[in-house]
A = this chain, B = another copy of it.
Amino acid sequence: MTTRDPQATALARLAGLIADETRAMCLLALLDGRAWTAGELARHAGVADSTLSEHLCRLVAGGLLAEERQGRHRYVRLADARVAQLVEDLAAQVGPADRAVRPRSLRESSAGSAMARGRTCYDHLAGRLGITVTDALTARGLLEQETGFALTDAGLAWFEAAGIGLERRGRRPLARACLDWTERRPHLAGVAGAALCRHALDAGWCVRIGSERAVKVTATGERALFDLLGVDAAALR
């Protein structure tokens, strides 16, 4: 009673925001980096609109989500890359979703394996696709993984040559490791990871499947990844 620790209070409050299955489902869904409407999230989580509305209020008040009102819609997305990283870290800690182990239905099963093949992780690539690209960068000496996690000079040049701009803004690190929860290995995140993902989508290297986080590599993408990084297309399947 008398000895309240403000840091502990804040920590508990932050964790409390995530410590609810419905809110957790929302945060995981929002890891696709896009904005969802309140109604979409309610249907996704399987609760009443009213219930989800309250959850959103708490998440926004807690600084985890940013909202944008447009007409009668309330769009909501993860507040920033820091929050995304936090959710990713927590998700990685609990391990791969059981869904991959014992799928309930064919639809979930195929959705699960599509997610395992390739997906976005907030704003960068993840799944087998993300790991493959990260490994290829490392094998070519563009990314240092032995002594930490950083782009090499050759790596900076590679991004330059590929026409992928790396904007240094704020304190976000250029390269950062994000633990992949299907592969259990780190993949490239940070400014470089985001730029690479954005370029991959813009240049048609991969396209989103369905309405969630899964992505699929196109024929164009296979060629580009082979030409630029020597990635064998078979590794992506």
Contacts of A21 in B (CB 8 A): 4-5, 8-9, 12
Q: A190 near B: Cβ within 8 Å?
A: yes
* Complex copy number for this chain: 2
Closest to A7 in B: B97
Residues in B with CB closer than 8 Å to A15 are 15-19, 24, 90
A74 on the interface (CB 8 Å rule)? Answer: no
Q: Tell me the bound Cα distance from A27 to B82 in angstroms.
A: 21
Query: In the complex, which range does the number of interface residues on chain A fall in?
Result: 35 or more
Q: Is the CB of B19 within 8 A of A7?
A: no
B150-A6 in contact (CB<8A): no
Given known A-B contacts A7-B28, A28-B5, A177-B173, A14 and B90 have beta carbons under 8 A apart = yes
Is the pair A10, B148 in contact by a Cβ cutoff of 8 Å? no
Listed residue (A95, A99, A175, A181) with the most chain B CB atoms within 10 angstroms of its CB: A175
Q: Is B156 in contact with A151, judged by CB distance below 8 angstroms?
A: no
Known: A8-B24, A148-B173, A148-B176. A86 touches B97 (CB 8 A): no
Binding site for B on A (CB under 8 A): 1-25, 27-28, 45-46, 82, 85-87, 89-91, 93-99, 144, 146-152, 155-156, 173-177, 181, 190
